[in-house]
Copies of this chain bind each other. A is one copy, B any other.
Amino acid sequence: MTGRFDIEATDGAARAGVLHTAHGPVETPVFMPVGTKASVKAVLPGELLDLGAQIVLGNAYHLHFRPGADRIARLGGLHRFMGWDGAILTDSGGYQVFSLRDTATIDDDGVEFRSVYDGSRHRFTPELAMEIQRNLGSDIAMAFDECPPAGVERGKLEDAVRRTSIWAERCRASEPGPGQLVFGICQGGVDLALRERSAAHIVSLGFDGHAIGGLTVGETREAMFETTRATAQMLPARRPRYFMGIGDPEGVIEAIAAGVDMFDCVLPTRLGRTGSALVDGGRLNLRNAAHAEDERPLQEGCTCPACTTYSRAYIRHLVTQEEIVGLRLLTLHNLHVLFDLVRGAREAIRAGTFDRYRSTR
């Protein structure tokens, strides 16, 4: 049963489904909060459950260096380590290897780079990325891919697609952990011919799910949405589709409309830590003096732990005084907004009213 993806309803290209993992079912569309270093920043697992989280992300790159995936394995795996009994998806570290330092040197075997922690030299390969994720014991491991920034010349983009393909084969040949699903990643930037080539090869390898990587790396919103719509249709309907790194409400709704099932982004948690709230029609900067005596909640009608008890005035006070409770409340609110948005989309898809839902967000 692990790995089965049941589609319960479709509405246009949008789908409502259930992905079965070793740590229970995940109802899609689903937003996955990012717990890079074995903690969704500022939020405890019990709070995530209360908000309705079903699956969180961990990161192979960061956990490999601190505290070490082998150490986490000795301590009983990532679920036990971080006290989270729901599903976990781990990033392979591909994105981090290429984005965190500009010193990476790449060949067909793997990538050499300097650790962001102490500058020491390291080599990541598809096999190592899979071994790290096996040690972490995540429910979903991601293939190791090359993720170039937007605007690179066609030759480099082609190289990235080719290497991502070779590496995907090697990831597929690696034994995953018990019950661990493995997702392949499609690259190709905003070049639809390359996307076609990448998708066809990745899909041929029989992964448990497919991700659209290499977007939200600097391209225009327009190109990003167009590429998402086209690429989603290149990936088989019977497997979950995952857009890596999108978390603004509009972007998530558009991706769902394109037929994408899974999303992750640091946006809601990072915005919270920098003093901003996601609200209807945009963002609220709580540092703004206009909120100093505003008794309203962050968002009228919101049922999150922040809005049911606290005023904008109080949260502004906490944020300006750098009280930890301020960023906690904003983080909870922003995560609630994402979960609520995606829950609403799921209900609308099941009711056949997704178009209307989309137009009112």
Contact = CB atoms under 8 A, between A and B. Distances in A.
A117 B82 CA distance: 38
Interface in A182-234: none
Contact of A74 (B39, B293, B316, B327): B293
A116 B96 CA distance: 42
A340 B192 CA distance: 63
Given A41-B324, A44-B305, A46-B305, 15 more contacts: A39-B324, A39-B325, A42-B325, A42-B328, A44-B329, A67-B292, A67-B313, A67-B316, A67-B317, A71-B293, A75-B295, A76-B295, A81-B311, A81-B314, A83-B309
Contacts of A67: 292, 313, 316-317
A66 interface: yes
Contacts of A38: 314, 317-318
Contact of A43 (B305, B325, B326): B325
A321 B66 contact: yes
Contacts of A74: 293
A37 B321 contact: yes
A117 to B, nearest CB: 10
Interface in A37-81: 37-39, 41-46, 66-67, 71, 74-76, 81
Interface of A: 37-39, 41-46, 66-67, 71, 74-76, 81-83, 292-293, 295, 305, 309-311, 313-314, 316-318, 320-321, 323-329
Nearest to A67: B317
Nearest to A63: B317
A39 to B, nearest CB: 5
A39 B326 CA distance: 9
Contact of A66 (B37, B310, B317): B317
- Could you say which of A45, A310, A313, A317 has the most chain B C-beta atoms within 10 Å of its C-beta? A317
Nearest to A329: B44
Contacts of A310: 83
A80 B43 CA distance: 24
Contact of A324 (B42, B76, B320): B42
A332 to B, nearest CB: 9
Given A66-B317, A81-B313, A81-B314, A328 B44 contact: yes
A67 B293 CA distance: 10
A324 B43 CA distance: 8
A43 B83 CA distance: 19
B71 A314 contact: no
Nearest 10 CB-CB pairs, A to B? Answer: A42-B324, A83-B309, A67-B317, A39-B323, A39-B325, A37-B321, A81-B314, A75-B313, A83-B310, A66-B321
Contacts of A75: 293, 295, 311, 313-314
A220 to B, nearest CB: 34
A75 to B, nearest CB: 5
